Amino acid sequence: MQTTSSTLKLPKNIWHITLVVFAITLAIFIPTYHWQPFPEPLNDNILSSIYIFAALITAIYGTLLVRQFSPGELPRKVWLTFVLGWWCAVLAEILWVIYSSLMSEFPPFTFIDVAWLSAYFWLGLSIYYQHHLISGKQKLPYSYLLVLNLILIVSAALTTLAQKAGLGEGMSWLVLFLAVLYPVSDIFLGIYALRISLIFGRGMLGRPWWGLITFTIADSLSVYFWMGGDKFMAKQIAQYFYLFSDTSYLTGYLLTALGLLSILVLSQKSSAEPAPSLS
């Protein structure tokens, strides 16, 4: 059997280094977010930099993992689309900082949305590939497109319902639709990621999906607040919910990165030990 994948040399203590760095990241993020000790815009810039760092490290570990597979291998499709999703997330985080520095109020539809929707598309495709790989069932042609259509239809229906319920006051149908599309996509991603991670259980290949589940929960919460959901709770409680939501969002990145790293570290072992001889 031939392997055309690259041989990667990670530092031996990469796992411990990453854990320490991530712990420090969280230790900086939580107080900076909650108490805002620095003047604006420095405080926001620190938080945005932390998000970019977390997204970047996730995408980098994902890219390194993809390089472990040869082009014809089936799991490569799963991880390639997965990592494309995270690179789109990196782009979205960077665009957020750029937009924030250029304008105080964002237009209804920005390149940030394009980046996020692309991220959803790739992550969804990755879930789709993984699901078919582990279920071993024959793929239905265009079945991913069918799921995408279903998400659009559900989002459109919910947008109409939300408008009737009084959510998203002052927003046009299209803006509200976009706002609904995120949590609906999150729910779809979350459900399928949960399903995959349940199949893998504590298996290493299921770990990167844990991050995605955390990420989608956090994202759904923040969209709910953005649509005015925080009006239904006391301000202080809402602040804690914000903290929880945004910390979970960051943790989603970190968990995904750790999940990817655990697979990377295991795959590193193959080149470390020579095959025993029979003589």
- Pick between residue 56 and residue 66 the one whose CB is nearest to another protein: 66
Report the residue from 15, 121, 200, 241 that binds another protein according to the rule CB under 8 A.
200
Query: Which residue reads 């069918």 in tokens?
Result: 146
Q: Does 138 bind another protein (CB under 8 A)?
A: no
Give the interface segment with another protein, choosing from 52-60, 116-124, 155-163, 268-276 (CB under 8 A).
268-276
Give the interface segment with another protein, choosing from 95-103, 223-231, 237-245, 260-268 (CB under 8 A).
260-268
Q: Does 273 bind another protein (CB under 8 A)?
A: yes
- Cis amide prior to 276 (ω within 30 degrees): no
Least separation, in Å, of the C-beta of 10 and another protein? 13
d(CA 128, CA 189): 10
For residues 184 and 154, the answer to whether their CB atoms sit within 8 Å is yes
Question: Residue 48 contacts by C-beta under 8 Å, 6 or more apart in sequence?
Answer: 93, 96, 97, 100
Give the interface segment with another protein, choosing from 27-35, 223-231, 241-249, 269-277 (CB under 8 A).
269-277
Q: Does 10 bind another protein (CB under 8 A)?
A: no
Site for another protein in 43-102 (CB under 8 A): 68-70, 73-76
Query: Which residue reads 């996730």 in tokens?
Result: 58
Least separation, in Å, of the C-beta of 56 and another protein? 24
Q: Does 263 bind another protein (CB under 8 A)?
A: yes
Question: Residue 106 contacts by C-beta under 8 Å, 6 or more apart in sequence?
Answer: 99, 112
Least separation, in Å, of the C-beta of 86 and another protein? 19
Q: Does 9 bind another protein (CB under 8 A)?
A: no
Cβ–Cβ contacts within 10 Å for residue 206, how many?
18
d(CA 257, CA 7): 20
Least separation, in Å, of the C-beta of 187 and another protein? 24
Question: Residue 241 contacts by C-beta under 8 Å, 6 or more apart in sequence?
Answer: 221, 225, 230, 233
Site for another protein in 169-198 (CB under 8 A): 198
Least separation, in Å, of the C-beta of 46 and another protein? 38
Q: Does 241 bind another protein (CB under 8 A)?
A: no
Strand, helix or coil at 153? helix
Cα–Cα nearest to 98, from 110, 86, 114, 116: 110
Which parts of this chain interact with another protein (CB under 8 A)? 1, 3, 5, 68-70, 73-76, 133-134, 198-206, 263, 266-267, 269-273, 275-276, 278
